[in-house]
Amino acid sequence: MFKVRYRYFFILLLGIYSFLNIRYTVGDKLFDFEVPLFALFLVLTLVVLGIWELNRLAEIKLPVIQSRLQHKVHPLITLFIISVLNVAVTCFVVMEALYPFLGLPIRIETSHLTLLMAFGFRVNLFLNCINAIVYYMDRLKKTQLEAEQLKKESIEAQFEALRNQINPHFLFNCFNVLSTLVYKDADTSAKFIDQLSKVYRYLLYNQDKKVVPLNEELEFIESYLYLLKIRFGDNFIVQTAIDPESKKYYIAPAVLQMLVENAIKHNVVSRKNPLQIAITSANSTLIVSNNLQEKPVKEESSRLGLKNIQSRYVFLSHKQVVIEKTANDFSVKIPLLEITAA
């Protein structure tokens, strides 16, 4: 607090306040000799200035003093003890300078010094109280910033693992489909391999990115959906309707893949009950929805996928991921992010 940038302005204000306070309580009779009002104002302001500046120097040297004390004493207590000595030194110097200024002989008059030090101690106590408030507010702010940083780092670490994780079941299923296609349709097999390479190339290239252009994510999901269509055939229906205006926005990478995979994992996909997924956009929001036909025997799940996506958007934006479930449908609304150039 004592190192504040505009300290001289505050010193002047405190000097004016002190002068008016004494002027209208004891008048100009602070001492047992007459002191002109200008000299009284000058004395009070110099006492405030001296206390403040000596405390500022003490605050600068405080880390060194604390290290010598092996940090066994709270820094505010150490600073207050030093400030008491600063009051005594300041008041003594100002008092001894006042005598010749008024044309009086220099002397050590304890009654005069006691009156001036009483004023100095009140000023010093006030300044130390303000300093303590500032100290604890700074500590609180620093603690909150550190907690927020740790929270963000934790979320980012969780999603770093999530981005780097490629579902092994998906990979095994793709190899099974490919092994069947190789003997049936060479052209389709070649395209399947090409689309599979695009999927994994996208995942590998973007695993370290926090956001990607929506247009790139949509190109990636087309390759991913092609692989699923080969696997499920007409049992898997996807409709995509993206507003061209939405393609200027950004999205967290592989979020669409996670949501489609989540829908397949928890719902029946059969000829009798085809799974229908719709990917649409509206009002800067991407909506992934599917008809709800939950599996009677649910697969083992950590149930962290959707929660992690929600947490990721807390890290990326103030906007929230909205999950809605009705008797017939399940939908997830992903906020589209606008990235402005610095």
Domain ranges of the chain: 7-145, 165-335
- Tell which residue, 174, 269, 276, 187, has the closest CA to residue 230: 174
Integer Cα distance of 85 and 51 in angstroms: 9
What is the pTM for the complete model shown? Answer: 0.53
pLDDT at 274: 94
Count CA atoms within 13 Å of residue 41 on its CB side: 9
pLDDT at 342: 43
- Give CATH for domain 165-335: 3.30.565.10
- The secondary structure of residue 103, as a DSSP letter, is T
- What amino acid occupies position 89? V
- What amino acid occupies position 263? A
- Measure the CA angle with vertex 241, ends 326 and 325; round to 5°: 10
pLDDT at 299: 63
Is the separation of the CB atoms in 240 and 279 below 8 Å? yes
Rounded mean pLDDT for each run of 10 residues along the chain, 342 residues in total:
78 86 70 80 90 88 85 88 91 90 85 87 89 87 82 64 56 78 82 87 80 91 90 92 89 88 90 93 92 80 68 79 92 88 47
pLDDT at 62: 86
- The secondary structure of residue 208, as a DSSP letter, is T
Which helix (H) or strand (E) segment holds residue 125: the answer is helix 110-164
- What amino acid occupies position 131? N
